[in-house]
Structure formats: structure tokens, C-alpha cells
Structure 1
Amino acid sequence: MTIVCFVLAGYAALHIAVDLYERARERLGQCRAASLFCSAPLLAGITAGSGIATAAAVASDPPRVIRQTIDGMVGTEAFAISAIVASLGALWALTVATRLPGALRHAHERQSTIELLRREGRRYSGRLRLGEISFWLGNTPELNVTVTYDSPAGQHKVKARMRTSPDRVPADGSIVVVFAASEGAASEGVKYIELDAGADAIFEPEQRYTPSE
């Protein structure tokens, strides 16, 4: 019964973490910040749960339990596992807590830059050319892409990386909008690319970018 409860609790925690990640990624616009943001409560729960289990195991006689565990006596495995999980969880949580403020600050700055480019930047129509998959984490492929567009200065080719889900990979040759900072702006040289909302978006077949089992 205990094992069943642990399995159900673990499944529920995983489901909540995945849902929180998707919401955070949509809100923050950055995968790294969303990953750190959703892992913080998950790690806190793991560390707290393992810590409580460890404390309960040594409550009766801490020196004896610790000594028996070090000696490798049968029956102390649960305490050893709980202690290891609590320690690793605490270290990982500390790492996340250290990196999270910087990731959130970067996400906020990135979103501010995007809004500035949309509001004040120069807008050009371009074409998207898909390249090879450069990175694949879970169900999120990251592709090398090339965007070609024309401006008064001539034709430009911009290489970028696109991270999306298997069902949202734009078809090769899709029309995109390139936002470029105006000359003399603090963000001069910065560009932002997105699908043209005025064009009917066509996506590659989902199975083409779905990882095999």
C-alpha cells in the first residue's frame, strides 16, 4: 500500500511539475528560466520529505542508527537512501536558488527587448529555411534555421536556433517577420524573428520531429 501511495504521489508531482513548466515557459518566454522556476518547489518537496524520513529514522537513537548505517547493517538501507536523497536534493536546490534570480532577470530583459523591437523596430518579411536538429531535450527539438529577408541595404541571411515542440515546427519556407532595432538604438544589431500572424501557418508533420520510443 505504501509503495502504491508513493507511485501515485510521484505521478501527481510529475504532472504538476510539467504543467507548471509549460505555464512558466509561456509566461517567461525562456526555457531555462521556466525549468529552474518549476524545479524549485519540486526540489523543496523532495528535500523536505527525505529530511523528515531521515529525522524519523534516527529519532530513537541517532548515534546507534548512524553507526549501524556506516557499518552497512541490514535494515538501515532506508535511512541511508533518505539521507542521500535529502543531501543531494538540498545541494541541487541550492544550485537552483543561486541560478534562478539571474535566469528570471535575463527572461525579463529578453521580453522587454522583444516588446521594444515590436513597438519601435524596423519590420521586414522573410523566409524560414529549416536545418538540422542541433539539440533534443525530452520532447523539445532545437533546430538550426536560416532566415532570408530583404531590406533597403540589400538581402540578409540570419542564422538562428529555433526551439519548439514537434507539432509546432513551421514548414520549410514559412513566412516570418524579422524585427530589427533601428540605427542608433541601444539595442542596434539585435533581431527578433516570429511567424507572420497574417499568413496561414503550416507546420511540419508532428511524427517527423517526435522522438522514437
Structure 2
Amino acid sequence: MRDAADGQQEHFETLPLFSTTDKGGRMTVLRPGRPVGRAAPLLPWLLAAAALWALTGSVPFGALLGLAPTPAISMFLGHPVTVGVAVVLLFVAISATGGVYSRAVDQFGQTRVAGLFASLAVSGGLVADAGVLLLWTLTSDPSRPFDLDAIATSPTIPPELGAVVGAGFALWAAIALLRLPGSIAHARRRQADIDRLRLEGSSFTGTLTAVSFANSWLFDLPIFNVEVGFIVDGAPRVVSAHMRTSADRVPVVGSRMLVLTDDRGTTHVELDSSNGATFEPDVRKYAAPDG
């Protein structure tokens, strides 16, 4: 049974993605055979990405924003070799953040949660870097007052400027951190609902009866409003849902659907790809506009 589940998971297409409750980045998927997502496996990747951003940010914060504790450190951070290393680290940090994002999508099946993890990696790393440099700068010269007016009056770049920029990243990090627990809980609830419906819910064969383009995209993925018709005890039913997909995987009206529901009123719909799904042949019809 496990081998069969693994094979089904390997060939499971996440797009098109349907949701009867959410839209946009809150739409959630759970691959067959996968458990409900957990945050713990992401933490090492999150910390590694944040550390890379902290190392990368030391150059602009220290050399350009006045947070170098001493002139010697400022010269070191502004040296061409150091700047070159920082540029390399920047690309590594971007790649690591992309890894955090993709792993979060894999865990929680939701782009909203993944975006918050990626935001926290960037902002958290830069805040940590700015905080350490600011504390080091202030303790290296305790007699110097901290005055925000120096941003406008100082003939050189004062550390107050770096502190203000760091405060902006701190606000970004705080917002991401405050939103993350609720977003994780939401994604886990949706995944738990999908898992329960697959195991215990009632399954019906449905038909895609309406596909309406919402004239909007999430990144480059078009968004649709759809209706799925199915029969329950001889009576026709219709369920409305949001759909996110790629431009080359837009199912046409009449496509076979799988409808899962329970006595709680929870409903989940999926494309029944086992029946040979038919997609819109004109892949440019719903492509995101350039720019």
C-alpha cells in the first residue's frame, strides 16, 4: 500500500488547484500519501538562509549605512574583495531563500505560508545583522549620543541612518512573525480536512460545468471561478470553487471531477486525472500579460 501511495504522490499534479473556501495564496493542497505539514523540518533551512542574509547585509549596513563600529571595520567592509564576497553571498542567500520557499510549499501546500517563511528569512537575517552592528557601534563609543536628527545634520553617514533602515526590516520581520503562526494553523487545518475527506468522506463523480476567468493571476498562474455538478441520492448538486492553475492546464467544461464531502459540510474538489483530463488547447489564452 505504501509503494502505491508513493507512486501516486510522485505522479500527482498539484495544478489545477481547487478550493471551495479560499482563494489566492491561501488555497491549499495536500499530495496523496503525504502527512499534514510541520514547521520543524523547515527551521534549519530558515536559520541557514537568515544567517546568509546577515552575512550579506553586513557590507551595506557597515560600509554604506554608518553601522561600522570603527573606521578600520568600515574600510574592511567597503574593500572591493569584501564587496565581491558579499555579492557572491547575496546570490547564495537568494538561492537558500528560494529553497526555504519551495520546502514550505512542499510542507504546507500553500504559497502564503511559504512567502511568510521566505520573508522571515530575509528580514530576520538583516535585522539580526543591523542589531549586532548597532549595538557594537554604540558600545564602542558610549559617549556619543544617539540622535535621529544626525541623519539630517551630520556631514557623514551616521549610524542612526542604519538604525532606521534596520528598524524598517524589524517591522517587516515582526509582521511576518505575527502572521506566520495563524497562517500555518490555517494551512494545517485545510490539509487535515483534505486528508480526512480522502479517508472518511463520501466520494462522488462530478463534472466541471462552468469555468469563469477572474482576469487575475497569482504570479503567472491564472485564477478562475468554477462550478462542479454532481449527483447525490439522485438529486443534482452544484458546488462553487476557486481554481488556480497554469495557462497550459486549464480544464475545459465537461472535465470529470472528484467531489469529496462529509456530514460536517466540508467539501473538496479535485480534477479526476485518471479519466484523461482535457485542457484548453490555446495556452496563450490565459497567459499572464508581460510586465
| TM-score, L = length of structure 1 | 0.79
Provide closer, same or farther for how the CA distance between residues 142 and 12 of structure 1 changes in structure 2, counting only shifts above 3 A. Answer: farther
Unaligned runs of 5+ in 2: 1-79
1:17 aligns with 2:97: yes
SS at match of 2:268: strand
Matched residues, number? 207
Matches of 1:147 and 1:32, distance apart in 2:
26
- Aligned equivalents of 1:92 and 1:23: distance in 2? 21
What secondary structure sits across from 1:198 in the alignment? helix
Q: Tell me which of the two structures has the higher relative contact order, counting C-alpha pairs closer than 8 angstroms and 6 or more residues apart.
A: 2
Kindly indicate whether residue 237 of structure 2 is the aligned counterpart of residue 159 of structure 1.
Answer: no
Within 5 Å, give how 1:76-115 maps onto structure 2: 76=157, 79-115=159-195
Q: Which runs of 5+ in 1 are unaligned?
A: none
Deviations 1:11-52 (A, max 9, x none): 333332233222212321222222223322222112112333
Cα 1:45/1:67, change in 2 over 3 Å: closer
1:60 Cα shift?
Answer: 4.3
Give, in whole Å, the separation in 2 of the partners of 1:162 and 1:120. Answer: 24
Say if 2:248 and 2:279, in contact at 8 Å, map to a contact too: yes
Asked if structure 2 preserves the Cα contact closer than 8 Å seen for 1:114 and 1:192, the reply is yes
Matched, 1:145 2:226: yes
Corresponding residue for residue 45 of structure 1: 125
Once the 2 structures are TM-superposed, how far is the Cα of residue 161 of structure 1 from its aligned partner?
1.1
Alignment of 1:59-74 (within 5 A): 60-61=140-141, 63=144, 66=147, 69-74=150-155
TM (normalized to structure 2)?
0.60
- Helix, strand or coil: the match of 1:112? helix
CA distance in 1, matches of 2:196, 2:255: 24
Cα pair distance change 1:13/1:137, threshold 3 Å: farther
> Which structure has greater strand proportion?
1
Is residue 2:214 matched to residue 1:133? yes
Q: 1:8, 1:206 → 2: CA distance?
A: 37
| Distance change (3 Å), C-alpha of 1:90 and 1:131 | same
- Which residue identity does 2:267 align to in structure 1? K
2:151 touches 2:157 (CA, 8 Å); kept in 1? no
Given that 1:53 and 1:82 are in contact with CA atoms closer than 8 Å, whether structure 2 keeps it comes out as no
Corresponding residue for residue 210 of structure 1: 288
